[in-house]
Amino acid sequence: MSQIGAIMFAMLAGISTALEAFINGELERNTTALIATFISLVVGAIFFLISILVSGDFKELINVGPINPKLLIGGIFGGCIIYFTVKAIPNLGVSNTLTLIVISQILVGFFIDSVIIGQETIHLYKFIGAILLVIGTFFIVN
């Protein structure tokens, strides 16, 4: 995939995150946070099952080999993202919630890249950038 393609996918993920947070926050007004999370995940699972069928990848789904059970935790984190977002939005609003989510993602991403994967070192510019992000978050949220 090209760099431009990757950038477009990252931007679409950001747009989807904002829209999902807003819609799930509205859904929670009609039910509870747990039920809203469940509905969101079920609808997402149905959507992707249909996408797999339409794209012809069903054979790939059936032929999935053994998966390390610890990798299934990603699904739990996905559900937690929805649940925590739905719980935060009524008190913080969508923009403040997403600001805090993004700064958390970036800081944990730095940690994963440098400590767990060992792929990158945190250079002075990234350290300064992280500090500015935290300061900017303080101003946005307050």
CA distance 4 to 54: 26
Q: Are 57 and 15 in contact (CB under 8 A)?
A: no
Name the strand (E) or helix (H) holding 30. none
**Whose structure tokens read 């699972």?**
45
Comparing C-alpha atoms, which of 12, 28, 9, 39 is closest to residue 94? 28
Kindly report the pTM of this predicted structure: 0.80
Q: Is the dihedral of CA 16, 65, 1, 108 positive or negative?
A: positive
DSSP state of 122: -
CB count in 10 Å sphere of residue 99: 19
CB count in 10 Å sphere of residue 25: 20
**Whose structure tokens read 């792929």?**
119
pLDDT tens readout for residues 26-83: 999 999 999 999 999 999 999 999 999 999 888 888 888 888 888 889 899 999 999 9
CA distance 123 to 98: 26
Percentage of the chain exceeding pLDDT 70 = 99
